[in-house]
Amino acid sequence: MLSVKRNPADARSLPWYGWVALAILLTTESGALLDVFWIRRYFYQFAWCSYILIVDALTWRRSGQSLLRTAPREFTFLAFWSISLWCVFEVINFRLRNWAYINVPTPSFFDFCLGLLAFATVLPGVFETEALLAVCGVWSRGRCRPLRISHAVLLGSIALGAAMLVALLVVPRVAFPLTWGFAVFLCDPICYRWNRSGSLLAQWEAGDPSKFLRLLVAGLICGGLWEFWNYWAYTKWLYTVPGLDQLKWFEMPPLGFLGFPPFAVECYVLVNCLNIFRRGRGWEHPQGTGAPKIIALASVLFALIFNFAVYAGISRWAVISTAPAMADLAGVAADLVPKLEQAGLSTPPEFLKAITRRGIGAVAHETGATEQDVEQAVAAARLADLDGLGADNQRALWSLGIRSVSALAARDPDALFLDWQRAAEWPPSEALVRLWIRAARRST
C-alpha cells in the first residue's frame, strides 16, 4: 500500500524525471506565451504529462513512495483506463452538447495517439495530486462521527444515482450538472458491497472522511489546471453550457468549476468499481492478486473497441473544426496559396502572426502577391481563426456573404442560425453561433 507517512530524517533529492519535467513545462509555458505555433498545438499534452511527472517526483521525495516508482503497473492501468472512463463522459456529452473541440489536427496516427494521450492523463492527474496532498498531511487526521450504512441507504443511493443519470439524459438543458456526481451515488454502494477498501461509504462508516476531502481538493486543483492550460492551447475545447456562457474564466463559466471536485470523487469510485474485477487490487493496494487473465484480456479488448467507437463519435458530433490551412479557406486566391506555403505561412495563425509583425505590404512583397489578395486572405484567416471557427464554417459563412469578423459581428444570432442551417450540411448548434458572434463583437 502506498504510504502517506514521511520520515523527517530521510532526506531525498527530487528524482531526475522531476527536473526534466519541470524544464519541459517551463519551456512549454514560454513557448505558449511567445505564440510558438507547434507548441500551442500540442500544449495540453506537454503541460499535463509534465505536471504528472513533477507531482509524482514530489510525492516520492517526500514519502519515498509514488505511483510511478512504487507501482508502475498501477500507473499504467490508470492511464489506460483513464481513456475509457473519460469516453463515458464523452458519450454523455453526445446528448448534453456542453463542450466541443476546436482546431483538432487532421486525422493521422500520430495525432490520434496524442489525442488518446490527453485522455490518458485524467486519472493519473487526479490521483497523483491526491497522493501529494496525502503525504503533505492534508486532512491526514480528519475524523467525523461514524455513519451507519444500512441496506436502505445503499438502495436509496443507487436509486438516486440512477435517477440523476436518467434526468441528465432526458432533460439535459436542466439537469446537465448531475453529470458530475451521479456515478458516486450509483456506483459507490457497489464498491461498499464488493470492494469495501475502495468505498467512500465504508470510509465514512469508519469515521474517516480524509480521502473524500482530499479528492475534492485534488479535483479543484486539477480543474483549475485543466482550464488554465486548455485556454492557452490551440487544439482545445469550448463550452456551450445553457444559460452560463455569458461570463467565462478561461473557457469555463465560473459555476462550472464547482463540477471538478465531485468529478474527482467520481473518478475514484469508478476506478474502484473496476478494481472489483481485479479482486481488490488497485493503485492504493498494488499488492493484490489482480484479475484472472481471461477477464483482463476480455476487458482490455472491450475497452479498445469502446474507445475507438467513442472516438469516431467525438469526430462526428463533438469536433466542430479541424486545424485549418490557408488552402482550405474561401477567399484566398489560388495562386497565393503556394506562395504562402513557400514562405512558411500555410496556416491562419502563422499567416496572421506574419501580418501583425511585418504588415500587409511586406507580406505581399515577400510572396509576390498583390496587397488586395493579401488583404482578402487576412479577412478569411481572421474569420477562420475566430475561436476555432475553422475552414468548413468559414466557407459556409462566405457563401452567406459574411466575409469578415466585423460582418459576423453585425449579424443577429437567431437569423444567422437559420441561414446557416440552410447553407451547410453539418451546421453548428445555435449555442456555437451565439458564441462566435459574441467573440466577433469582442474582437471588433
Which pLDDT score, from 0 to 100, does residue 1 have?
44
Give yes or no for a contact between 337 and 374, defined as CB atoms under 8 angstroms apart: no
Which pLDDT score, from 0 to 100, does residue 346 have?
95
- Which candidate, 435, 443, 441, places its Cα nearest to that of 247? 435
Sequence-separated (6 or more) residues with CB below 8 Å from residue 297: none
Considering only CA atoms, give the Rg of the chain: 24
pLDDT tens per residue, range 338-378: 999 999 999 999 999 999 999 999 999 999 999 999 999 99
Provide mean pLDDT across the span 136-164.
92
Q: Which residues sit opposite 102 in a β-bridge?
A: 236
Provide mean pLDDT across the span 256-268.
97
In this predicted structure, the answer to whether residue 232 has a pLDDT above a threshold of 60 is yes
| Residue 409 backbone class (left: φ over 0; alpha: ψ -120 to 50; beta: rest) | alpha
In this predicted structure, the answer to whether residue 335 has a pLDDT above a threshold of 70 is yes
- Given CA atoms 391, 392, 395, 396 in this order, what sign does their dihedral have? negative
In this predicted structure, the answer to whether residue 4 has a pLDDT above a threshold of 60 is no
pLDDT tens per residue, range 162-178: 999 999 999 999 999 99
Sequence-separated (6 or more) residues with CB below 8 Å from residue 260: 180, 219, 220, 222, 223, 224, 226
Give the confidence band of 286 by pLDDT, cuts at 50, 70, 90. Answer: confident
φ/ψ (deg, to 5) at 256: -65, -25
Higher pLDDT, 109 or 220: 220
CA distance 37 to 358: 17
Which pLDDT score, from 0 to 100, does residue 47 have?
97
- Which candidate, 1, 118, 108, places its Cα nearest to that of 48? 118
**Cα separations in angstroms, 98 against 91, 174, 418:** 12, 12, 21
Give yes or no for a contact between 269 and 263, defined as CB atoms under 8 angstroms apart: no
User: What global pTM score does this model have?
Assistant: 0.94
Give the confidence band of 9 by pLDDT, cuts at 50, 70, 90. Answer: very low
In this predicted structure, the answer to whether residue 139 has a pLDDT above a threshold of 70 is yes
In this predicted structure, the answer to whether residue 83 has a pLDDT above a threshold of 90 is yes
Give the confidence band of 243 by pLDDT, cuts at 50, 70, 90. Answer: confident
Which pLDDT score, from 0 to 100, does residue 387 have?
95
Which pLDDT score, from 0 to 100, does residue 97 have?
92
Mean pLDDT of all residues belonging to the chain: 93
Which pLDDT score, from 0 to 100, does residue 27 have?
97
Amino acid at 135: V
Higher pLDDT, 3 or 422: 422
**Cα separations in angstroms, 307 against 88, 112, 313, 400:** 9, 12, 10, 38
pLDDT tens per residue, range 244-254: 777 889 999 99
Which pLDDT score, from 0 to 100, does residue 110 have?
85
Give the confidence band of 2 by pLDDT, cuts at 50, 70, 90. Answer: low
Give the confidence band of 183 by pLDDT, cuts at 50, 70, 90. Answer: very high
Which pLDDT score, from 0 to 100, does residue 179 have?
96
CA distance 119 to 124: 10
In this predicted structure, the answer to whether residue 11 has a pLDDT above a threshold of 80 is no
Long-range contacts of 53-57 (CB under 8 A, 24+ apart): 53/17, 53/18, 53/20, 53/21, 54/18, 54/21, 54/22, 54/25, 55/128, 55/129, 55/131, 55/132, 56/17, 56/18, 56/128, 57/14, 57/15, 57/17, 57/18, 57/19, 57/21
Give the confidence band of 332 by pLDDT, cuts at 50, 70, 90. Answer: very high
In this predicted structure, the answer to whether residue 142 has a pLDDT above a threshold of 90 is no
In this predicted structure, the answer to whether residue 147 has a pLDDT above a threshold of 50 is yes
Higher pLDDT, 246 or 406: 406
Provide mean pLDDT across the span 103-120.
89
In this predicted structure, the answer to whether residue 7 has a pLDDT above a threshold of 50 is no
